[in-house]
Amino acid sequence: MKESKEITEIIAALRKSEVDLQLNNEQLKTLNLALRVAEEKSAILNSIIESSDDAIISKNLDGIITGWNAAAQRIFGHRAHEIIGRSILNLIPPERHHEEPKIIEQLRSGKRIDHFETQRLRKDGTLVDVSLTISPIFDSTGNIIGLSKIARDITPQRHAEVMSERLSAIIASSDDAIVSKDLNSIITSWNDGAVRIFGFTADEMIGESIFKIIPEDRREEEPKILSQLKQGLRVDHFETIRRRKDGTYIHVSLTISPIKDRKGNVIGLSKIARDISERKEIEKKKDEFIGFVSHELKTPLTSLRSYIQISMHKALQQGHDFIGHALSKAEMQTKKMEKMIADFLNVSRLEEGKMKLNLGNFDLVELINGSIADASIISAKHQLRYAGETEAFVLADPEKIGLVLTNLISNAQKYSPLGGEIIVSCQKVGQSFSISVKDVGIGIAPENQKTLFDKFSRIDSDQTRSISGFGIGLYLVASIIALHGSEISVQSEPGKGSSFMFILPIANTATATPDDSKISNDE
CATH at 207: 3.30.450.20
Q: Are 228 and 308 members of one domain? A: no
Q: Are 464 and 383 members of one domain? A: yes
Within-domain flag for 513: no
Q: Are 165 and 230 members of one domain? A: yes
Q: Which of 232, 248, 276 is the last residue of a domain?
A: 276
Q: Are 376 and 495 members of one domain? A: yes
For residues 137 and 117, the answer to whether their CB atoms sit within 8 Å is no
Q: In what helix (H) or strand (E) does residue 118 lie, and over which residues does it extend?
A: strand 113-121
Q: What is the pTM of this model?
A: 0.47
Which residues, other chains included, contact 53 with Cβ-Cβ below 8 Å and sequence gap of 6+? 71, 152
Q: By residue range, what is the domain housing residue 190?
A: 160-276
- The per-residue pLDDT for range 387-426, each reduced to its tens digit, is 999 999 999 989 889 989 988 998 888 888 888 889 999 9
DSSP for 382-439? Answer: SEEEEEE-S--EEEE-HHHHHHHHHHHHHHHHHTS-TT-EEEEEEEEETTEEEEEEE-
Q: Are 385 and 494 members of one domain? A: yes
For residues 349 and 480, the answer to whether their CB atoms sit within 8 Å is no
- The per-residue pLDDT for range 259-299, each reduced to its tens digit, is 888 888 888 888 999 999 988 888 777 777 766 666 666 66
Q: How far apart are CA 222 and CA 211, in angstroms?
A: 8
Our measurement of the distance from residue 140's CA atom to the centroid of its chain's CA atoms, rounded to an integer in Å, reads 62
Within-domain flag for 172: yes
Q: Are 459 and 370 members of one domain? A: yes
Within-domain flag for 521: no
Give the model's confidence band at 183: pLDDT under 50 very low, under 70 low, under 90 confident, else very high: confident
- The per-residue pLDDT for range 474-510, each reduced to its tens digit, is 888 898 898 899 999 999 988 889 999 999 999 875 4
Within-domain flag for 91: yes
Q: Are 175 and 265 members of one domain? A: yes
Average pLDDT, integer, range 438-461? 81
Q: How far apart are CA 505 and CA 429, in angstroms?
A: 10
Average pLDDT, integer, range 161-183? 83
Within-domain flag for 395: yes
Within-domain flag for 285: yes
Within-domain flag for 147: yes
Q: Provide the pLDDT for residue 517.
A: 36
Within-domain flag for 515: no
Q: Are 388 and 408 members of one domain? A: yes
- Whose CA is closest to 349, among 301, 406, 403? 403
For residues 502 and 340, the answer to whether their CB atoms sit within 8 Å is no
Q: Which of 226, 241, 276 is the last residue of a domain?
A: 276
Q: Provide the pLDDT for residue 381.
A: 78
Q: How far apart are CA 208 and CA 179, in angstroms?
A: 12
Q: Are 463 and 375 members of one domain? A: yes
- The per-residue pLDDT for range 85-104, each reduced to its tens digit, is 999 999 999 999 999 888 88
Q: Which of 276, 294, 320 is the last residue of a domain?
A: 276
Domain count, the chain: 5
The b/e string for 169-185 (b: 16+ C-beta within 10 A; e otherwise) is eebeebebbbbbbeeeb
Q: Are 193 and 257 members of one domain? A: yes
Average pLDDT, integer, range 156-167? 81
Q: Are 368 and 482 members of one domain? A: yes
**What order do you get walking across the sheet with 177-182 strand by strand?**
187-190, 177-182, 266-275, 249-260, 235-243
Q: Are 367 and 500 members of one domain? A: yes
